[in-house]
């Protein structure tokens, strides 16, 4: 059995990616469950992963079982378990360096920058299992308000406020504490998405916004640069120029640019469809992760 240990059920991208990964494994016939404190399930996005109590999972853990985790804090306790331990790398904070140095911990990554980081830290053969966007974000031509801007104030609030001061005539829709389907509905109805979190590792919301047909204006994001291509499928702007770039994108003269960026954004997001991730994992299960089918 594969136990994917998660710290809680809060609205945090890493939680969703964990469930997404377990869903993909289940779909491919691999027995995997989420191990969560008190067996609580995250319910803010769609999933059909089974959830078990993390404490019970630790107690019944056998040598043939596999533990997967993504939160560095779990490392100390999980490395003592008798089975194999995999670190699912979703960020490249130096906090993870001791994990990467431990040869008994195998490493999975989700994107190119993380892959490069772990390789540069001496990890042997890390496996990129990919990341995907929920189909609920897939834009199917729903009506959009051309002058509506979606934003997530949780990180980068000041930048959002500076945009609001610069472009005061447009409508701003705050995304905060919403379930995934509600986020998708908002994004599909908006023209622009502000990705303002400077310290984001990857920025899954920006990719989801692309899938929902938004023009994304993003600050540079470490891992996210694999899908953010300035002037091609989005605008990438530093803090000082950010509000000006948003104002330019919102201007009537930029209508064609918005159309072009939106089309390219949707095309980019298609390469992160669930089916792609499942194919990628399937290939790994037929190769380096073949033992996972037997656990």
Partner 1 sequence: MNTLCAIIVSRGLDEMLRFCLKSFFESADQLYESVEVIIADNASPRPYTESSLSERRIRVLRFDVQTRFAVACNRCVKECETKKLIFLNNDVFLDRSSLNKMLQNSCRAGIGVVGSWLYFPDGRVQHRGVVFGHGDIGPYHLNRGQFLDPRSPFEEYQAVTGACLMVNRSLFNQLGGFNESYQFGLEDIDFCLRVRQHGYRVLCANAGRPMHFESFTPGRVELDGPSRQLFLEHWRGKYTIDG
* Chain positions contacting partner 1, by CB under 8 A: 1-2, 19, 26-27, 29-33, 39-43, 45-52, 179
Neighbours of 231 (CB within 10 A): 11
Q: Could you give the CA distance from residue 3 to residue 181 in angstroms, rounded to a whole number? A: 26
- Angle of CA points 222, 227, 231, to nearest 5°: 100
Which residue has tokens 């404190």?
A: 37
CB of 30 to partner 1, least distance (A): 8
Residue closer to partner 1 (CB basis): 12 or 75: 12
Residue closer to partner 1 (CB basis): 9 or 175: 9
CB of 113 to partner 1, least distance (A): 29
Residue closer to partner 1 (CB basis): 11 or 52: 52
Positions of E strands within 135-291: 145-151, 171-174, 190-195, 215-218, 235-236
Q: Could you give the CA distance from residue 208 to residue 178 in angstroms, rounded to a whole number? A: 14
Long-range contacts of range 253-261, CB-CB < 8 Å, 24 or more positions apart? 255/146, 258/146, 258/191, 258/215, 261/215, 261/231, 261/232, 261/233, 261/234, 261/235
Report residue 104 CA to chain centroid gap: 26
Residue closer to partner 1 (CB basis): 51 or 192: 51
Which residue has tokens 């469930």?
A: 19
Residue closer to partner 1 (CB basis): 147 or 181: 181
CB of 42 to partner 1, least distance (A): 7
Residue closer to partner 1 (CB basis): 8 or 76: 8
Cβ proximity of 179 and 154 under 8 Å: no
Residue closer to partner 1 (CB basis): 50 or 232: 50
CB of 209 to partner 1, least distance (A): 22
C-alpha distances in angstroms, 203 versus 51, 114, 190, 191?
26, 13, 18, 18
CB of 286 to partner 1, least distance (A): 16
CB of 15 to partner 1, least distance (A): 11
Residue closer to partner 1 (CB basis): 56 or 255: 56
Cβ proximity of 261 and 235 under 8 Å: yes
CB of 17 to partner 1, least distance (A): 14
Q: What is the dihedral of CA 263, 268, 274, 277, to 10 degrees?
A: 170
Cβ proximity of 129 and 107 under 8 Å: no
CB of 100 to partner 1, least distance (A): 29
């Amino acid at each position: 059995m594969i136990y994917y240990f998660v710290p809680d059920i809060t609205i945090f991208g890493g939680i969703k990616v964990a469930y997404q990964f377990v869903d993909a494994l289940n779909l491919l016939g691999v027995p995997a469950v989420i191990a969560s404190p008190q067996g609580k399930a995250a319910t803010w996005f769609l999933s059909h992963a089974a959830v078990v109590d993390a404490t019970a999972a630790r107690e019944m853990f056998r040598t043939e079982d596999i533990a997967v985790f993504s939160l560095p804090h779990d490392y100390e306790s999980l490395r003592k378990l008798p089975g194999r331990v995999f670190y699912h790398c979703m960020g490249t904070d130096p906090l993870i360096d001791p994990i990467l140095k431990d040869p008994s911990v195998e490493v999975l990554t989700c994107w190119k920058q993380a892959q490069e980081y772990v390789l540069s830290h001496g990890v042997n053969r890390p496996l990129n299992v990919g990341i995907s966007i929920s189909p609920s974000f897939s834009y199917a031509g729903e009506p959009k308000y051309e002058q509506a801007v979606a934003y997530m104030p949780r990180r980068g609030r000041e930048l959002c406020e500076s945009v609001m001061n610069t472009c005061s005539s447009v409508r701003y829709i705050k995304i905060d504490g919403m379930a995934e389907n509600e986020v998708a509905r908002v994004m599909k109805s908006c023209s622009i998405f502000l990705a303002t979190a400077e310290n984001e590792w990857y920025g899954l919301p920006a990719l989801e916004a692309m899938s929902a047909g938004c023009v994304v204006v993003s600050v540079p994001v470490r891992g996210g640069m694999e899908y953010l291509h300035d002037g091609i499928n989005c605008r990438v702007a530093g803090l000082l120029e950010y509000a000006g770039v948003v104002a330019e994108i919102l201007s009537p003269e930029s209508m064609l640019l918005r159309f072009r960026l939106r089309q390219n954004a949707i095309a980019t997001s298609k390469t992160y469809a669930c089916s792609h991730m499942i194919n990628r994992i399937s290939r790994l299960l037929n190769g380096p992760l073949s033992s996972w089918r037997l656990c």
